[in-house]
């Protein structure tokens, strides 16, 4: 149903200091699986893409990058050395781009390797991971002790997602990869050669220790270490040539077996497509088997997750209760939302879902819910009656 709205100013009993801004005839987005009615005075959010309203149920999105992991490249890097006009096409964050004139003639053969820690099998207890919001572990990478804390797996829906929060906290200091075929997490140094080193996991010193059995399972005696070999890894390789051509529009990583392409952004708008051939013109197509191996059916694209507007408080619903069945069945229209202006509302009558409180922190804004609403002109006070309003 098309979104239609009109903006009206009302002088209503629950405002002080000026006129509140109310949208009427608003559309509430379908909420599949919802078990509870939407109550009056519920804090709501507005989806960025559809501009439709949804109940505010979370303020702590897990922000991840869109990525595309290609199929195994094997030792194809040596074959790249004969190519001076390589090309492929990819779409990043919805922007299609042709990467052309890739000259690999000066790269080094893949003699240098990354250090890595292959952890033991993690098992299939996804519920155990989902219960962790304060996970921690320590790992020594390239001689530097890195402590990972505040690891939150509460939003994951599949085991292959456990590495996304780890990589977000690693912030480029190492890379964690989950292999569903053997049910293990592997942690890679991002350096190559003899200077690339890796240690076993140890406890993080706070929160829930996830270094051992039942979680990452990378302790001494369980994990398997392989240190980097070859030169110091400073020679140019395939990924370096591609990254120069990408000019910051995406980032390519070669882990010794396959290529991965990462968006520079995070969140639901972050994406990297599978590769395709550049249409027309000369040059050597390197998108498929024997080279990058990232075509449809071989490459695996994973969209970013996180902020889409649904975790940012945007107003207060002030209509009658909306039954859960109506929200599940389809869009609900003809409802009113208080957007702000300069109003004071009764703190005790404001409804928040999923155990959220006005002091819950909206992570992407570094503010509490009350503070975000205050910025919109909705002030909280415990002595104002909002049980009714009038035009």
Mean pLDDT of 302-309: 87
Instruction: Reply yes or no on whether the pLDDT at 88 is more than 90.
Output: yes
**Which has more confidence, 223 or 14?**
223
Instruction: Reply yes or no on whether the pLDDT at 387 is more than 60.
Output: no
Mean pLDDT of 112-138: 91
Mean pLDDT of 228-243: 81
Q: Please indicate, yes or no, whether the overall pTM of this predicted structure exceeds 0.85.
A: no
Report pLDDT digits (tens) over 71-83: 988 655 678 999 9
CATH class of 6-61+308-381: mainly beta
Predicted confidence at residue 20, as pLDDT, reads 66
Q: Retrieve residue 65's tokens.
A: 């990058």
Alpha carbons within 13 angstroms on the beta-carbon side of residue 248 total 0
The answer to whether 37 and 320 have CB atoms below 8 angstroms apart is no
Predicted confidence at residue 44, as pLDDT, reads 93
**Which has more confidence, 235 or 298?**
298
Report pLDDT digits (tens) over 16-62: 444 567 777 788 888 878 888 999 999 999 988 788 898 998 888 87
Mean pLDDT of 233-258: 87
Q: What is the mean pLDDT of the chain?
A: 86
Residue 344: band (very low, low, confident or very high) from pLDDT cuts 50, 70, 90: confident
Mean pLDDT of 234-255: 89
**Residues 6 or more apart from 52 whose CB is under 8 A from it?**
3, 26, 27, 28, 29, 46, 331
Q: Give the span between the Cα atoms of 309 and 45, in whole angstroms.
A: 7
| Lowest mean per-residue pLDDT among 15-24, 230-239, 340-349 | 15-24
The answer to whether 155 and 132 have CB atoms below 8 angstroms apart is no
Strand, helix or coil at 55? strand
User: What are the domain boundaries of the chain?
Assistant: 6-61+308-381, 65-110+237-302, 116-226
CATH code, residues 65-110+237-302:
2.60.40
| Angstrom distances, CA of residue 258 to CA of 175, 212, 253 | 13, 28, 8
Residue showing tokens 């076993």: 200
């Amino acid at each position: 149903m098309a979104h239609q709205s009109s903006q009206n100013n009302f002088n209503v009993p629950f405002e002080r200091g000026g006129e509140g801004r109310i949208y009427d005839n608003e559309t509430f987005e379908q909420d599949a699986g919802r078990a509870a009615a939407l109550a009056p005075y519920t804090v709501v959010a507005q989806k960025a893409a559809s501009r439709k309203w949804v109940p505010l149920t979370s303020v702590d999105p897990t922000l991840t990058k869109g990525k595309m992991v290609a199929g195994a490249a094997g030792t194809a890097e040596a074959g790249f050395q004969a190519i001076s006009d390589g090309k492929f096409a990819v779409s990043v964050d919805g922007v299609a781009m042709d990467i052309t004139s890739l000259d690999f003639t000066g790269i080094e053969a893949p003699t240098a390797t990354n250090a890595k820690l292959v952890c033991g099998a993690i098992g299939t207890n996804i519920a155990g991971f989902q219960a962790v919001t304060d996970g921690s572990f320590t790992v020594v990478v390239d001689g530097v002790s890195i402590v990972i804390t505040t690891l939150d797996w509460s939003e994951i829906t599949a085991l292959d997602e456990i590495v996304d929060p780890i990589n977000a906290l690693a912030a480029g200091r190492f890379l964690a990869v989950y292999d569903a075929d053997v049910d293990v997490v592997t942690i890679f140094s991002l350096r190559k050669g003899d200077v690339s080193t890796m240690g076993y996991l140890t406890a993080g010193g706070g929160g829930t220790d996830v270094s051992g059995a039942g979680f990452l399972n990378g302790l001494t005696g369980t994990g398997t270490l392989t240190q980097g070999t070859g030169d110091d890894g400073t020679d140019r390789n395939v990924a370096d040539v591609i990254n120069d051509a990408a000019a910051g529009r995406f980032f390519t990583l070669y882990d010794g077996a396959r290529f991965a392409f990462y968006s520079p952004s995070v969140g639901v708008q972050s994406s990297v497509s599978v590769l395709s051939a550049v249409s027309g013109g000369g040059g050597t197509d390197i998108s498929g088997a024997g080279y990058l191996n990232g075509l449809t059916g071989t490459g695996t694209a994973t969209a970013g997750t996180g902020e889409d507007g649904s975790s940012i408080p945007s107003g207060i619903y002030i209509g009658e209760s909306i039954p859960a069945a109506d929200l599940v069945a389809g869009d609900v229209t003809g409802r009113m939302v208080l957007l702000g202006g300069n109003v004071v509302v009764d703190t005790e009558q404001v409804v928040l879902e999923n155990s959220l409180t006005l002091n819950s922190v909206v992570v992407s804004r570094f503010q509490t819910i009350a503070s975000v609403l205050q910025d919109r002109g909705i002030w909280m006070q415990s002595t104002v009656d909002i049980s009714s309003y009038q035009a």
